[in-house]
Structure 1
Amino acid sequence: MKSQYDEMSGIQSSSGLWTMLEEFNADYAFLSSSERKEKLAEIFVRNWRGPVVPRSEVGRFSCGLLHPRTMANRDSDGTGISTRIRIHGKRVAYLASDVARYLVDKIDFV
């Protein structure tokens, strides 16, 4: 059975994301924080269009929570996503599951 979180593609603004996160937090309040983070990561990956996320698209993947320049800076100082893919020697991409994990590791449920 599909849940209301199976279609996040309509969430284009951060306010829509915050509303979804509040509902998600209430619906899955019975889970531990780590279990909720794992579930949320699964939702982000399931709603993305492929197995990789170009650095230029991390903002879209994260509904604006991450920015491509910030990710480039994090990669440069060694605090970014550890697995990077270089395409044609120029463009950088990440595995969608790694971006989701990185994102939810930054989230605290309150």
Structure 2
Amino acid sequence: MNILGRVWVFVLVLAAAAAIALAIRQPDFRWSTGSVMIGDLLREPAKYDGRSVRVTGIVADRMGIMGFGGFRLRDPLNGDEIAVVVPGGGMPDKGSAILVSGKFRQAFAIGKVSGAMIIRDR
């Protein structure tokens, strides 16, 4: 094999490795079985209020105090975020890709501004 052939093989292997790394780093959370997109919850909070939901995403930030905690869950595809309340602790690491099951609550709605959260199941 000449030098040009070796370069092409190297480029193809490098491209394949990059594609695999991207697929592993940011999986398509839309295809998680039975889950709802974070954006759907935020666009139609009244439809989901009080219902049990499953949502996938990346843990953005977290905080806890005296046995209570919470974190922001981010959709890596479009950046939508929702607050997740964790009663009794046991929070995931920042940057973790997780599936959250819990009860969706529309916290408030004032005009076009609204807040929503998921109270995580134990």
Is the structural similarity TM-score above 0.5? no
Hey, which of these two has a bigger chunk of helix by percent? 1
Higher RCO by CA contacts (8 Å cutoff, separation 6 or greater):
1
Hey, which of these two has a bigger chunk of strand by percent? 2
Shorter-chain TM-score tier: under 0.3
Higher Cα radius of gyration: 2
**TM-score of the aligned structures, taking structure 2 as reference length:** 0.23
